[in-house]
Chains A and B, each alone.
Chain A
Amino acid sequence: MIRVFIADDEAPARERLRELLQDIATEVPSVVAGEARNGLEALERLPESGAQILLLDIRMPGMDGLELARHLTGLENAPAVVFVTAHDKHAIEAFELNALDYLLKPVRAERLAAALKKAAAAGAPRAETLARAAGAPREYLSVAERHRIVLVPVRDILFLRAEQKYVTVRTSEREHLIEESLVALEREFSGPFVRIHRNCLVARAAIRGFERTGGGEEEAHWQVVLDGVAERLPVSRRQWPTVRELIADK
């Protein structure tokens, strides 16, 4: 029995998939482990459902399918993903480049059976593959705990700082550690974030101003003053001209 989770915002579409799963039950025995109406709901319910395969609609409100799939890769028992879409030109092109599996709506029983078998054998998609297929930056960063995923809205993030193996994600409330590379984050969020130092990206919206510090023995340098936290972040001499220009545009 394959445990299947269905995520689609349209009730009839979920119903249709349930029917089809029953129709192919002799060929591919399965059980519906859970359902969700949008990305956030799926993220909440999926980990405890023990699903092995996720049938995932790409276009959903709240959080779209592509972003959801990226967050799920952090789970210990991440499910295999079969994307289902009525037609999303960009996504399909990206999938073909990245060899992700997808079904077109309306879905045919035979194709669903084939996709389930293939997905069961292939396992969870790799995070890099999904990242390459994604068309837009994520709205959240995620921290995988053992059986749960904690989301941090990107718009709440004040800065991202690389420390050894991890990146610290700082919001005004607290900080999280994620396992991603600062270079990749900089590329993905080049709009709202600016690099101020070799190891640090700051949210432009959070910058309140700059302070000059040091002098005397120590060489003088600039620091970023942020909204929401007392901590000052040093601007490297190399980044200072870029940062100053960006802020002048603000």
Chain B
Amino acid sequence: MPSIRQNAYPDVLPDFRNLAVIARVLLAVNALALAAALYASPGVTAALEHFFYIAAFLEPLLLIELIALFALAGGLARLPYWGGCSALVGLVVALAGAYHRVVRAIAAAPQLASLPRTLVLTVVVAVFLLLYFHLHTKAFSPALAEARLQALQARIRPHFLFNSLNAVLALIRRDPKRAERSLEDLADLFRTLMADARQFVRLADEIALLERYADIEQLRLGDRLRIAWELDAAPSDALLPPMVLQPLLENAVYHGVEPGTGTGDVLVRIERRGDRVHAAIENPYLEKGNQRAGNRMALDNIRERLALFFDAEARLETRIANGRYRVDIEIPYRRT
């Protein structure tokens, strides 16, 4: 059980298997090289020439480093943050040293920098990039604190809490067993809300939470709420940030079912497509439901958290078509 910490997101190394991270490293290193060339040369033409010369040496090294990091990403991530940083710097410096020697041996490169200089530059660039990723994560961490708060507020939203309690009270005499189960469901929901929002959870656990929540709503709304679950192709071992799907289902009920007088059909579909996990939640689009505030905020927050956990590899889209409102989420398929 993770402890409940009130402050920021725990420090973790960037995920070197994430395309966006790789792209950022490539861009940053080349930008630094260009800046160095501009600084060292008298004119732009000379600078470009200089840059191509540096690049000829730099790009192969950069690729080797990235491939190594890609391969060792799992191992590095298991180390504590500072240990991971040290191991990473050690690794890139060792690779740079070896590369330097190979180049020296096979090519006549008169302007090749000395070995110590190559090593020092490598350390500087590596530390600079680690700092950059560290700050990047920090910049997003308010979203997490906010998400917890919002989720908590949404659940403590009197409308949900008091109506649920009222529904359970009505059950106690007629169906004590069901009443017990509903209180347990409520307890589970609140427990998840008060847990740490910064750790990945297994999809199976998130689905269990969805079902608990759906049970409570079903109790209140009866046959006005009809949920179709399409979960056969859901990879139960996939990892995702907590409280991503439940708020979406809650929105679907709150905006798409409760304001209507008839039966509201909600669809929950989660499936794996190759190395992606795809989730869709769909509900009737009611003009009245749309006026209820709060939907936008919840979506923005989920989008931010997906960006924090998956960078540019996650996607969240909403659309209205044929009288249905639909949210689609796509994340990379990751396992423990």
Q: How extensive is the interface on chain A, given as a class?
A: 20 to 34
Q: Is the CB of B167 within 8 A of A10?
A: yes
Q: Is the CB of A19 within 8 A of B261?
A: no
Instruction: State which of A19, A38, A40, A62 has its C-beta within 8 Å of the C-beta of B170.
Output: A19
B219 at the interface (CB under 8 A from A): yes
Question: In whole angstroms, what is the CA distance A203 to B259 when docked?
Answer: 26
Contacts of A38 in B (CB 8 A): 261
Contacts of B260 in A (CB 8 A): 61
Which of A13, A38, A106 has the most chain B CB within a 10 Å cutoff? A106
* Interface secondary structure of A, over-half rule: loop
Contact mask A69-94 → B, CB, 8 Å, 1/0? 00000000000000000110000000
A237 at the interface (CB under 8 A from B): no
A15 at the interface (CB under 8 A from B): yes
Contacts of B165 in A (CB 8 A): 105-106
Instruction: State which of A40, A61, A106 has its C-beta within 8 Å of the C-beta of B166.
Output: A106
Contacts of A87 in B (CB 8 A): 158-159, 162
- The minimal Cβ–Cβ distance linking A217 to chain B, given in whole angstroms, is 50
Contacts of B159 in A (CB 8 A): 59, 86-87
Question: In whole angstroms, what is the CA distance A232 to B174 when docked?
Answer: 63
Which of A15, A38, A40, A104 has the most chain B CB within a 10 Å cutoff? A15
A122 at the interface (CB under 8 A from B): no
Q: Is the CB of A12 within 8 A of B158?
A: no
Q: How extensive is the interface on chain B, given as a class?
A: 20 to 34
Contacts of A10 in B (CB 8 A): 163, 166-167, 220-222
Instruction: State which of B166, B258, B259, B288 has its C-beta within 8 Å of the C-beta of A12.
Output: B166
B296 at the interface (CB under 8 A from A): no
Q: Is the CB of B261 within 8 A of A13?
A: no
Closest to B262 in A: A61
Question: In whole angstroms, what is the CA distance A104 to B224 when docked?
Answer: 24
Contacts of B162 in A (CB 8 A): 86-87, 104-106
B62 at the interface (CB under 8 A from A): no
- A residues 35-73 in Cβ contact with B at 8 Å: 37-38, 40, 59, 61-62
Contact mask B108-120 → A, CB, 8 Å, 1/0? 0000000000000
Question: In whole angstroms, what is the CA distance A12 to B224 when docked?
Answer: 13
- The minimal Cβ–Cβ distance linking A211 to chain B, given in whole angstroms, is 34
Q: Is the CB of A40 within 8 A of B220?
A: no
Contact mask A151-171 → B, CB, 8 Å, 1/0? 000000000000000000000
Contact mask A21-40 → B, CB, 8 Å, 1/0? 00000000000000001101
B307 at the interface (CB under 8 A from A): no
Contacts of B261 in A (CB 8 A): 37-38, 40, 61-62
Q: Is the CB of B171 within 8 A of A12?
A: yes
Contact mask B250-267 → A, CB, 8 Å, 1/0? 000000001111000000
- B residues 134-174 in Cβ contact with A at 8 Å: 158-159, 162-163, 165-171, 173-174
Question: In whole angstroms, what is the CA distance A9 to B224 when docked?
Answer: 10
Q: Is the CB of A16 within 8 A of B258?
A: no
A11 at the interface (CB under 8 A from B): yes
Q: Is the CB of B167 within 8 A of A86?
A: no
Contacts of B174 in A (CB 8 A): 15
Contacts of B259 in A (CB 8 A): 61
Closest to A104 in B: B162
Given the known A-B contacts A15-B174, A86-B158, are A106 and B169 also in contact in the complex, defined by CB atoms under 8 Å? yes
Closest to A62 in B: B261
Question: In whole angstroms, what is the CA distance A62 to B219 when docked?
Answer: 20
Closest to A39 in B: B261
Q: Is the CB of A19 within 8 A of B167?
A: no
Question: In whole angstroms, what is the CA distance A10 to B220 when docked?
Answer: 6
Given the known A-B contacts A11-B222, A61-B258, A61-B261, are A16 and B158 also in contact in the complex, defined by CB atoms under 8 Å? no
- The minimal Cβ–Cβ distance linking B104 to chain A, given in whole angstroms, is 74
- The minimal Cβ–Cβ distance linking A38 to chain B, given in whole angstroms, is 5
- The minimal Cβ–Cβ distance linking B266 to chain A, given in whole angstroms, is 15
Closest to A136 in B: B291
Contacts of B221 in A (CB 8 A): 10
- The minimal Cβ–Cβ distance linking A207 to chain B, given in whole angstroms, is 23
Question: In whole angstroms, what is the CA distance A104 to B158 when docked?
Answer: 11
Which of A16, A38, A59, A62 has the most chain B CB within a 10 Å cutoff? A16
Question: In whole angstroms, what is the CA distance A104 to B169 when docked?
Answer: 14
Give chain A's interface residues, CB within 8 Å of chain B.
9-13, 15-16, 19, 37-38, 40, 59, 61-62, 86-87, 104-107
Q: A9-B224, A16-B166, A40-B261 are in contact. List 9 more A-B contacts (CB 8 A).
A: A12-B167, A13-B163, A13-B166, A16-B167, A19-B173, A105-B162, A105-B163, A106-B162, A107-B166
Give chain B's interface residues, CB within 8 Å of chain A.
158-159, 162-163, 165-171, 173-174, 219-222, 224, 258-261, 288
Q: List 26 A-B contacts (CB under 8 A).
A: A9-B258, A10-B163, A10-B167, A12-B167, A12-B171, A12-B220, A13-B163, A13-B166, A13-B220, A15-B174, A16-B167, A16-B169, A40-B261, A61-B258, A62-B261, A86-B158, A86-B159, A86-B162, A86-B166, A87-B158, A104-B162, A105-B165, A106-B162, A106-B166, A106-B169, A107-B166
A-B pairs with lowest CB-CB distance, top 8: A87-B158, A16-B170, A12-B170, A12-B167, A86-B162, A106-B166, A15-B170, A105-B166
